[in-house]
Amino acid sequence: MMSRFTLVAAVAAASLIGAPALADTDFPPAISVTGEATVSVLPDLAQLDAGVASDGKTAREASEANNAAMAKVLAALKGAGIDDKDVQTSRLSLQPQYAANRSGPSPIVGYRASNRVTIKLHEVNKVASVIDALVGAGANDIGNVNFTVEHPSKLLDQAREQALADAKRKAETYAKAAGVTLGAPLSIAEAGAPTPMFRAKMTAAPMAMAAPTPIAQGEETLSVTVSVTWAIKAAAQ
């Protein structure tokens, strides 16, 4: 009987000793909310693809014709004031062209060479005139015009401040409804990578156009979402 009493007492003592350690690991009372904010601005960088596709009876003929045509396109870009560093080859290909033949293997009837470059324009108001210059120089493959913000860091910082303020407003609303007050934030986490909500795009009209190219640059909207957990405490009586 004595040994059984001693064992029970020892277990009870161990439980009392362990209780504070478990309490220390409990997460404090808190409110978790999500804040959101967006910042809109006119884009200051445009990017477009332009190039030439040339056909020939032989691979050499198609390639030589394409090289000559692309040289005129690059010269037009230089004449428009585009720096070499803002022009980068994005596609270069030479492909055989086959005749339509449903009864057997299709014979090669010629070749198509294509050369395409990606162009950055730091003056978005020049997009239309640059496209017109490219068409005038013989470019017959133009499209994928994108408008973006070149340096969005400061704008994103503004959105972050606004998102945190939005989170605090929500947390204060919950705290008031629950009869508690907010303490210090326990954690702040940005949800994912901030990305544009909308990116203006357009595809160039057919090459037969004679009127100036119409361009709509739109507006760039940057979005930030932040998750914040706030400590709470009983409201003062």
Average pLDDT over residues 171-178: 94
Q: Count how many Cα atoms sit within 13 Å of the Cα of residue 70 in the half-sphere of its side chain.
A: 23
pLDDT > 70 fraction of the chain, expressed in percent and rounded: 78
- pLDDT attached to residue 14: 33
Measure the CA dihedral 92/94/99/105, to 10°.
Answer: -110
The lowest-confidence range among 97-111, 118-132, 145-159, 183-197 is: 183-197
67, pLDDT greater than 80: yes
The distance in angstroms from the start CA to the end CA of the chain is 53
Tokens of 8: 């029970």
- pLDDT attached to residue 110: 95
Average pLDDT over residues 5-14: 33
84, pLDDT greater than 50: yes
Average pLDDT over residues 8-23: 35
pTM greater than the 0.95 cutoff: no
Cα 66 to Cα 59: distance, rounded to the nearest angstrom: 11
- pLDDT attached to residue 1: 44
Per-residue DSSP letters for 22-49? HHHTSPPPEEEEEEEEEEEE---EEEEE
Helix axes 59-79, 127-136, angle to 10 degrees: 140
17, pLDDT greater than 50: no
- pLDDT attached to residue 195: 57
- In this structure, the chain runs to a length of 237
Instruction: Give the pLDDT band of residue 7 (cuts 50, 70, 90).
Output: very low
CB 48 within 8 A of CB 131: yes
Q: What phi and psi values does residue 179 have, to the nearest 5 degrees?
A: 75, 30
Give me the domains of the chain, ranges plus CATH numbers: 25-42+151-197+219-237 (3.30.110.170), 45-148 (3.30.70.2970)
Residue 52: is it exposed, middle or buried by C-beta count within 10 angstroms (0-12/13-18/19+)?
A: buried
CB 86 within 8 A of CB 78: no
Average pLDDT value for the chain: 82
The lowest-confidence range among 41-50, 70-79, 199-208, 227-236 is: 199-208
